[in-house]
Structure 1
């Protein structure tokens, strides 16, 4: 959205008097990127875990003025990265008012705009185009036509009495309509090969050809495409001449450490209830283990959307508990995670030999992730006061999807060392709530069970911890 009002300039004469200099899109991107780099500012905000790998390559491609392909598995932020680049454009840019392809007032290229400029001179009207509107995108599907991307004859203009050979009878496609902007093509390999041929002139000669017209419209835009490595390399759906016309091929990847995964989940998830940091970390650890698992098809990958959806689902589970039992300020607990994993199976592609074992694999990796975070976060803390509660063989603690935090805390009572646990799990003493304390206690109980210091049984939606 626009952050400031556009300049109060409405004619090309006033634009020249203001000292405005015309720059191409790639010049804009290059100069604005250099300014950010020199100022030490974030060049592409919101891109988590790519600072030392992908973003430098993207920056070099932008500085070189190259169109490029982002190559990576699903859920690696390719589309978000393409959309983020629009932030490197000038906030406002002038266009000829009424131009279908956003021509710069200094350089009209269509026949109609050239005639208007010659007729009106310095009175040629100028409009202003915000950078948020200068990004266009098309999901490449097999039914996409040349007309969709480049343009075609407009029969309504023929019916109005124009000659068939008149360039003004052209209805422009998406690429010309985002002239002087950035255009992204998602899943480029799915574009039919005959349609890919139509992109040759756009990427190399920077112009368009429509149904044999003697029409040359120089386009000023950056083209970015995304592709999945399986489609790109194995199925060979991008034709070689088109690959050659892109200046760079940049390989994306998933976050390479758990902290980056946690930051990505926190940034992207729309949480309906509070989710403690340790639960987010378990979800991030689970996502990482899934990506390393031999049971998962690595050609498909494990999208960041899996982790985001898992965080949103455990938050929804907490909200449901709060609504049913009348609990205000519900907080997600580690016991909410196993119940939602089954609904996330559709986001995973398992290897053929694992058919029928999907739930077992998810359950096993969920326990493994919980144990890993338990050891990482609570290492060095004396948890013997927690195990001492179960010294009597008859002592048990019940929890579950519909057990309120207050009920769990009543069963547990006061425990020495609880404040250390809360601190290690990132719960501030100033902001502590019963829900957060219950979430911390349940996490400790689950960790003690996974490290074989207490027992656990699950019956009718209840989880019972004991000696």
Structure 2
């Protein structure tokens, strides 16, 4: 729980004496972002791969005070990016205690708060709201109503004797309740067009209309939204007047290089076993291959969540194998990559005509990723002594019931194995599982280069001549 500091003013009079003047939300973000840029602080914690592309555009939009829509494929981090906007707000902001819309004690906007401020004067009680409470998120669904976003007449208040034209009969929706904060609408095109119309006044005139009554509430909100290009152009669309009111439309993208893809997986994945850097690179290249493959429907995209789920699946396969073989610690090896295609094929869309060949395509692209990673890791390293040893009868078996020590025991002492481990970032005194993972990667690369054979049954894979 976030505890309000005792040193903060508790009445409007104390607030005024302390110099807390009302500041528009756009100005607040503008000032705090400039301060972060000047001090060299990271204003976007947890955002990977956007530093030279998306973030400069977003920073310019915020400094200009614009409402923003992020346009990009699924799983590109749009929602994560919007949630970091709350970090640009003041840590604590004053509100009228008990006010429905979180109004500033020195700038009330509803009739009830204006009347209360006039009656109490400097004794108006002040509460404090943390920045995390000033970010409001709504998933746009087709059943979202104007009442949900803007508000509606409250029949209970009417029954109490108030007239329909009285602003105090209104039950306010999500947008007015976010006054002096940020409103994020996910998948904006999925919002019915007649509902999008209700946002026009909020974004331009900053007032709201409910049941034919215009309430002149000078709302102060920053409206941000996300949209998927497929929805943006086909299934749904952002109506032209609303699109015109967004000051900036910013395109997001998937990680541009392997390093960024690995960084995203490291940050987001909850791994139940150790997955070494080489295998994370394999998964990153696998996902990048999927995004370039003509058999994958690229209009739906290959989400970054796929890479995260793939890493978690590999870790789970390693943990299961460790439980079967008694290994400790559980360390993922290339054999665990076999679990990915069968488990995750439902997370991506294939082009028509590829029915029944999904796993075949995924296995092929995974092998390409393994070959590319091994080529990068073992560049300039002569693996001929390893292939010669296997060809001379030192067959190597691996599988979900083969412990790492058996993989290593199948090979003679070879200097090249130390080089292989070193290239994989493993030293000779580390657990057998890490060394075996590096050796298996080298063996698989030799197989893919057609310098070794590989025979597989249900539980075991054997590398031979």
Match of 2:431 in 1: 433
Q: CA deviation at 1:215?
A: 1.7
How much is the aligned-residue C-alpha RMSD, in angstroms? 1.6
- How far the C-alpha of 1:208 sits from its partner, in A, is 1.2
- Asked whether the equivalents of residues 6 and 92 of structure 1 are also in contact (C-alpha less than 8 Å), the reply is no
1:113-262 to structure 2, matched below 5 A, reads 113-235=113-235, 237-262=237-262
- Report how far residue 165 of structure 1 moved: 2.9
Relative to structure 1, the CA distance from residue 404 to residue 4 in structure 2 (aligned partners, 3 Å threshold; closer, same or farther) is farther
CA distance in 2, matches of 1:52, 1:6: 41
Helix, strand or coil at the partner of 1:412? coil
Q: Which residue of 2 aligns with 1:419?
A: 418
Q: CA deviation at 1:442?
A: 1.1
Q: Secondary structure at the match of 1:266?
A: helix
Is the 1:261–1:284 contact (alpha carbons within 8 Å) kept by the matching residues of 2? yes
Secondary structure of 1:5 counterpart? coil
Q: Return the offset for 1:383.
A: 1.8
Q: Deviations over 1:225-253 (max 9, x none)?
A: 11111221345621111110111110111
Counterparts of 1:331-346 in structure 2, within 5 Å, are: 331-346=331-346
d(CA) in 1 for partners of 2:5, 2:341: 47
Task: Return 35-44 or 195-204, whichever deviates more.
Answer: 35-44
1:425 Cα deviation after fit: 1.4
Q: Give CA deviations for 1:257-315 in whole Å, capped at 9, x if unaligned.
A: 11110111111111111000000000000000110111111111110000000000000
Structure 2 partner of 1:268: 268
Partner of 2:446: 448
Map 1:401-416 to 2 at 5 A: 401-416=400-415
- Deviation (angstroms), 1:2: 4.2
The Cα shift of 1:7 comes to: 4.2
Deviation per CA, 1:373-405, whole angstroms, max 9, x where unpaired? 00011111222332232132x431110123222
Residue aligning to 1:20:
20
SS at match of 1:335: helix
Q: Is residue 454 of structure 2 the alignment partner of residue 459 of structure 1?
A: no
Q: TM-score, normalised by structure 1?
A: 0.96
Asked if structure 2 preserves the Cα contact closer than 8 Å seen for 1:82 and 1:184, the reply is yes
Partner of 2:396: 397
Matches of 2:214 and 2:396, distance apart in 1: 81
Task: Please give the alpha-carbon distance, in whole angstroms, between the structure 2 residues aligned to 1:292 and 1:148.
Answer: 41
Q: Can you give the 5+ residue segments of structure 1 that lack an aligned partner in the other structure?
A: none
Mapped partners of 2:417, 2:16: distance in 1:
70
The 1:176/1:435 distance shift into structure 2, 3 A limit, reads same
| Correspondence for 2:110 | 110
Q: Distance in 2 between matches of 1:334 and 1:296?
A: 24
**TM-score for both structures, normalised by structure 2:** 0.97
Answer yes or no: is the 8 Å Cα contact 2:394–2:410 preserved in 1. no
Instruction: Tell me the residue number matched to 2:94.
Output: 94
Per-residue deviation, residues 121-173 of structure 1 (Å, max 9, x unmatched): 01111111111111111111110000000111122323344333322221111
Aligned to 1:286: 286
Gaps of 5+ in 2: none
What does the per-residue CA deviation read over 1:174-221, in whole Å, with 9 as the maximum and x for residues that have no partner? 111111111111111111010000000111111211112242111111
Distance, in Å, in 2 between the alignment partners of 1:182 and 1:429 is 53
Equivalent residue pairs, number? 465
